[in-house]
Amino acid sequence: MRKAWLFLAVLGLLLALAVCQLVLPPRNMSAMENRMLAQMPAFSVQGLANGSFTEGVETFSADQLPLRDRFVSLYAVMQTLSGKRLNEGVISGADGWLFDRSDGWSERNVRLNASSLQALADTCGKQACLLAVPSSAAVCSDKVPALAPLADEEKLLAAAGSETTLLPLLDAMKQANGGHAQFYRTDHHWTAAGAWTGYETVCAALGLTPIPAPETVSYPGFYGSYYARSPLPWMAADTFSCALPEGITLRVGEEEKEGLLDPAVLEGRDKYAALLWGNHPLIELENAQAPRAELLVIKDSYANALMSLLARHYSRITAVDARYYTGNIAELTECYEGEVILCIYGLSTLATGRTIALMDGMPY
């Protein structure tokens, strides 16, 4: 009898979820997971025949499941209570720290991206410098559980250094981490303190005299990318912090932004995305009072916390996000008069894709 009632209860729950999914309008985005959700695919006979339509419906049903965020959180709790340290590729460490599984990172990808950067610099007669940002697991190793599935980041960095000029960031971050946390607990990005360490490393390489740190602003309630994949309800939020130098203008395309932070994004969970108004194919930072002329940066999102500090030295920084830029990078460098092409990239991005190597206009 109990089994019958349990069966009816589960059946009733499934029916209720199905009815809600039919009645409720589909969501466009999951704020917790920080990604766009699948929408109902358009029906076509060809799609039905090749299976793409039914696959699309399955993905839509999973993404649009009512109370999806609660179920994702519940699953993370069940995994943790069962003693598992790994959930959706996120490693649970000591003192509430979360880390990314990295044992699948590719040394070949690192070499291809680094060698392509060097080839571009050689072709246009410039100097290439790579600031590869390590993961929090490599810097905060005392918080990582034993036998965690991690890559040998020192080996990957050595591979990058064998292909181009690699700036010595890992050791600098390890030394600085004792006084100021270099990374967020719930996110893969570095803190304002971590970005400052990167800034000092770049200054040393490019012959710049570091300018004293500008005012830093803080915003509580930040839950990052690791939390989005493993949302444990008892996890304490980070406090997002960033430096805001004065006198710098941000241009995204033809539009001049008001300030360096997107205020709408600061109201949400993923506050790091507010920096420089998110990720765009090409942006420019201008500073009429800067002593140097220009700097070309090839970047991913790590650079967003660092470039405003560098903009105090350059009248113009042109930054290309290799993940989204569809123009010809070789043509862009033809009108670049600076001496250095600076690449600010997360080691995770270098090792998990070939976004630099596959840019249009790369020599090979």
* CA–CA distances in Å: residue 203 to residues 131, 168, 194, 290, 320: 11, 12, 14, 15, 20
Average pLDDT of the residues in 315-339: 94
pTM of the model: 0.83
Average pLDDT of the residues in 306-324: 97
Per residue in 29-85, pLDDT tens?
A: 555 555 556 666 676 766 666 666 667 656 655 555 555 555 555 555 555 655 566
* CA–CA distances in Å: residue 4 to residues 12, 89, 209, 246: 12, 37, 75, 68
Asked if residues 271 and 115 have their Cβ atoms less than 8 Å apart, the reply is: no
Pairing of strands 35-36, 29-30: antiparallel
User: What percentage of the chain carries pLDDT values higher than 70?
Assistant: 77
Average pLDDT over the chain, rounded to whole? 86
- Burial environment of residue 208 by CB neighbours within 10 A (0 to 12, 13 to 18, 19 or more): middle
Q: Which residues pair with 92 in a beta bridge?
A: 98
Element (H, E) at 123: helix 107-124
The whole-number pLDDT of residue 97 equals 96
The whole-number pLDDT of residue 254 equals 87
Nearest-angstrom CA–CA distance, 324 and 349 = 13
The whole-number pLDDT of residue 13 equals 46
Record the tokens describing residue 45, joined without a space. 């006979």
